[in-house]
Amino acid sequence: MTGSMRKRGRELARDIEANAANDREELELLAAVIARYDDLTSPELWDILDSYSMVGMMSRLELLLPGDILLGEGGQQTDVKGRLSFEQEAAHGAHITDRLEDLEENSGYIARNYVPVIRNGETVAMLCGVVELGTLPKDLLLEPYGGEAAIYIIDGNTGDFLVDTWHEEPGNIWELGQREMASGYDHERLKQGLIDGKTGYVVFVSETIGEYLYFYYEPIAVNQWRIALSVPESVVFTGANAIRDMLNVFMIFEGACFVLYFLWMLFSFRKGLNEKQRQLNTANYIYDVDKLLFNAHERQENINLALEKIAYITSAESVGFWMRGQHGEDVTFVWDKKEDRKETLWNKEIIAYLEEYFKRGNGQFEANHAELLRAKLSGVKPGVMKNLMAVPVEDADGMICGVLAGCNMSDSRGSAAPLKSVSFSFSMFCRNMRSYYAIKEQGQTDMLLGMNNRNRYETDLPKFRTSYRKSLACVYIDVNGLHELNNSEGHAAGDELLKEVAKQIKGKFGTRYTYRIGGDEFLVVILDMEEDKVNRLTREIVESLEKKNIYISVGFQWRSGKFSVDELIKDAEKKMYAAKKDYYEMEINDRRMRR
């Protein structure tokens, strides 16, 4: 019993910790996007923030501003002086509060997940994900013991219930008083265990149902929270009681019925049990797929696990999902029993045919044998695909955003119902993927120049150590005179200068590994290009800019074989600074003389 409760308790604790960590990552990505907006009430910004309702444990997003002004849905402003303090929350940095009363009357208890929005080194707002504690178990699908167990989240410091599915109103565990304990257990052991954040359990008599409750508790790595389960004794031992009752029934039937009648009853029983088991497996399958896809936009390995479960329930050798990507490209995921056959399911002809087929309003596609399949799809290779079943995945507007398909089912007459039952989960996955990559792209792109920013550079830097085959080159560029130009002619003129420099760099080296890493600093990493060619392209950039009266300082470094990427970049930077020093030592280029 204790092993089963311990397992369930730890699963619940890990789920809450994982969701809290995922929520923090989502908020930090959003905070980076928000920092780019000077007007935090911008409708464009709130279109993004309002689309993040019901993500993870968060039910909505808010912004707390200096002066204790709270921005809610659509950027609506509320004065929260005396109820929330920007100064206090900003001092804590990124954190999750303990139990609070919602600002709206009769709205129950909440917790606030804060992340600072930092612009130019200053906290300009606190982004807040509101966690509605009353609905948290349902939102996370926490139903241990088939929903028969009560779930509690307790503040170890205060004893306050953050979540309490047993009592009508969450209160304080110490205010409930002491309970009549079973032999060998005492109230102080429970209290001290919750305060110290230990793992343990006690058994006491419930005043509500009049039987023993098994109460297990475990710490959560969020603030001083503890997870606890209470399970009635009748539920804990329900399996043993069911087995005992069944044995008694069998004994009565064995003495009272004919052997043939007994065998017939046994056959009927097994038939019903198999049907119930099938229904239970289907329900578990839908739940497992939905749970895997919930955060698959961040953990794409979960997609293969979800497709594998679909393959099991449909008896398919191969299951795949196609969706239209952020920029209109085809994005495909395939699980196949044979690794060398992953290209079997999706090709351009199959994608185009099924997309057009479902756009005409068809609800599913079935080709139960190879001849029928080849008649509809001439590009299918004989002997490779024996049958195919597919369903459309639609977005909130009813538009086709993806196709879920399986092929080579052992039961070619099987129903498409298992695919349809999870199509909504894949629709949510498409939406999450697009939102996630849109935010990630904004956070890693210099919006002025249309090239990668320093965030993307820091992400790509570790990859350079293993991504080149023969050589690696670094071109480090600093724009001369930008500060003076901004002072004399304004920042608009400076922006145009930077755009021209960026245009020349992207024209010669592309956009994949070109970065603006500072106000007037650019960095380019070039993989597997001959040194002479890199040098020539760099000179062409300098010459093209000088014709337009734009001057840059360049540091160039090229290496082959084994070397330190960090040292390569530092050497290029040193050469750039040396070139810059030489430039300013020339009398004609003196800072006081230049425009």
Here the CATH number for the domain that contains residue 517 is 3.30.70.270
Structure tokens that stand for 474 in this block: 């670094």
Q: In this structure, what are the phi and psi dihedrals at residue 158, rounded to the nearest 5 degrees?
A: -110, -20
Residues 523 and 404 both lie in one domain:
no
SS3 228: strand
Residues 378 and 467 both lie in one domain:
no
pTM for the whole structure: 0.42
Return the biggest CA–CA distance within the chain: 115
The answer to whether position 244 is within a domain reads no
Residues 144 and 131 both lie in one domain:
no
Residues 298 and 435 both lie in one domain:
yes
The answer to whether position 262 is within a domain reads no
**How many residues comprise the chain?**
595
> Where does a domain end: 120, 136, 152?
136
Question: Over the chain, what is the mean pLDDT?
Answer: 83
pLDDT in tens, 210-236: 788 888 889 998 888 998 888 887 776
Number of domains, the chain:
4
Residues 54 and 143 both lie in one domain:
no
Residues 143 and 81 both lie in one domain:
no
For 14, the domain range is: 2-136
The answer to whether position 252 is within a domain reads no
> Where does a domain end: 441, 474, 501?
441
Residues 436 and 298 both lie in one domain:
yes
Here the CATH number for the domain that contains residue 373 is 3.30.450.40
The answer to whether position 261 is within a domain reads no
Residues 349 and 458 both lie in one domain:
no
Residue 175: the pLDDT is 79
Residues 548 and 566 both lie in one domain:
yes
Q: Give the whole-angstrom CA distance, residue 291 versus residue 293.
A: 6
Give the residue with greater pLDDT, 571 vs 244: 571
Return the bridge partners of 409, or none.
316
pLDDT at 311 over 80: yes
The model's confidence at residue 242, banded by pLDDT at 50, 70 and 90, is low
Residues 83 and 153 both lie in one domain:
no
Residues 131 and 143 both lie in one domain:
no
Structure tokens that stand for 106 in this block: 């009769």
Return the bridge partners of 442, or none.
none
pLDDT at 591 over 50: no
Residue 341 DSSP class: G
pLDDT in tens, 377-393: 766 666 677 888 899 99
The answer to whether position 13 is within a domain reads yes
Residues 59 and 188 both lie in one domain:
no
Structure tokens that stand for 525 in this block: 């990493």
Contact status, residue 480 vs residue 583, Cβ threshold 8 Å: yes
The answer to whether position 486 is within a domain reads yes
The answer to whether position 249 is within a domain reads no
Give the 3-state secondary structure of 100-154: EECCCCCCCEEEEEEEEEEECCEEEEEEEEEEEHHHHHHHCCCCHHHHCCEEEEE
Here the CATH number for the domain that contains residue 78 is 3.30.450.20
> Where does a domain end: 408, 441, 474?
441
Give the residue with greater pLDDT, 539 vs 259: 539
Q: How many CB atoms lie within 10 A of CB 354?
A: 23
Return the bridge partners of 372, or none.
none
The answer to whether position 342 is within a domain reads yes
pLDDT in tens, 411-457: 766 678 888 888 888 888 888 877 777 676 667 788 888 889 998 89
Q: How many CA atoms lie within 13 A of 499 on its CB side?
A: 8
Instruction: Please compute Rg for the chain using Cα positions.
Output: 32
pLDDT at 141 over 70: no
SS3 72: coil
pLDDT in tens, 48-103: 888 877 778 888 899 999 999 999 988 999 999 999 999 999 999 999 999 898 88
CA-to-CA separations, 469 to 37, 290, 511, 529, 535, in angstroms, rounded: 41, 41, 20, 10, 19
